Amino acid sequence: MDFDWLSKITIYSAFDVNPNTRLKTFYLSLLQLSQDDDFIRINLDLAKNKYCRAYQVNKYQVTDITPDVISVYLQMLADSFELNG
């Protein structure tokens, strides 16, 4: 799975007065979500269906997206917040 686009994701708010705290909150939330195997497993089919409908993608094109892939992606995203914080 190619995660090159991950480096282009930016989350910010013009009203942040303490961005380090905000980044730590993002990090902890994403880390916890990456470890919630039941939540990922239960919601993955719904997310795939919505994605396929929204972007007119065939289901066979997303079969390689598994709960483990989502967990790793969320962990990588969390790590990027920790490194930048």
Q: Which residues contact 52 (CB under 8 A, 6 or more apart)?
A: 58, 59, 61, 62
Of the pLDDT bands very low, low, confident and very high (cuts 50, 70, 90), residue 22 is: confident
Angle between helices 67-84 and 37-55 (to 10 degrees): 100
**Residue-wise pLDDT tens digits, 50-75:** 999 999 999 999 999 999 999 999 99
**pLDDT > 80? residue 13:** no
pLDDT (0 to 100) of residue 66: 95
Prediction pTM value: 0.69
What's the rounded mean pLDDT across residues 10-38?
78
Residues 72 and 23: their CA atoms lie apart, in Å, by 19
Other C-beta atoms within 10 Å of 30: how many?
A: 20
